[in-house]
Amino acid sequence: IINDDWPGYSLDLFNYPTHYSGDLDCVIIPHGVIMDRTERLARNIMDDLGDHDIVVLCVLKGGYQFCADLVERIKALSRNSNHTIPMRVHFIRLRSYLNDQSTEDLHILGAEDLSFLAGKGIVGTGKTMETLLQHVKAFKPKMIKVAGLLVKRVQHSLASVPDYVGFEIPNRFVVGYALDYNEYFRDLNHICIISESGKKKYKV
């Protein structure tokens, strides 16, 4: 849990692309901490779902890095464990943000025919899951579990909490580790808080 008053780490302590100078306030989660937490989530998933046949639904674009790292760690654990998880990965794209505001207009691409999910266990990774979950349930999977790297504390939010959570963070707009602001900042390794000048610079 990252508290609301957590100031983050100074950018001077980390390497990051110089073309983002002035566009970031701070590093809120360093890359190494993300990797360590992702391995812990992989262990939890192995403990819960080992020996199940699962399909991983990766939500693009923001979820691809977390999904790739999580799947790699599950595979590594599976190779060195009595539990093994037969696993397939399928990609779905959701788009719900314009600049830093979530919109009502949610598009799902790649989810037209998910009939192969019938009877399988599902681990979804990414954000904006409520609409997607309703869509997936129509294909009658055996079970659905959601893994999310980040959960924001939002007042009066009715959104369900993922089964596997990496970090609970303040309600601030974050970028990096494949999370973008209008397609920028995906090339950051760390998760950072975007500055007001960064929002203005890349606003569409």
Indicate the CATH number for domain 32-170.
Answer: 3.40.50.2020
Q: Which two tokens stand for residue 198?
A: 């960064």
Segments in 51-152 forming alpha helices (H): 64-79, 129-137
Report residue 157's pLDDT band, with 50, 70 and 90 as the boundaries.
low
Average pLDDT of the segment spanning 113-126:
52
Percent pLDDT > 70 in the chain is 80
Report residue 128's pLDDT band, with 50, 70 and 90 as the boundaries.
low
- Residue 70 CB-half CA count within 13 A: 30
Domain boundaries defined on the chain: 32-170
Q: Render pLDDT for 40-77 as a digit per residue (tens, 0 to 9).
A: 999 999 999 877 888 898 888 788 999 999 999 999 99
The most distant pair of C-alpha atoms in the chain lies apart, rounded to whole Å, by: 52
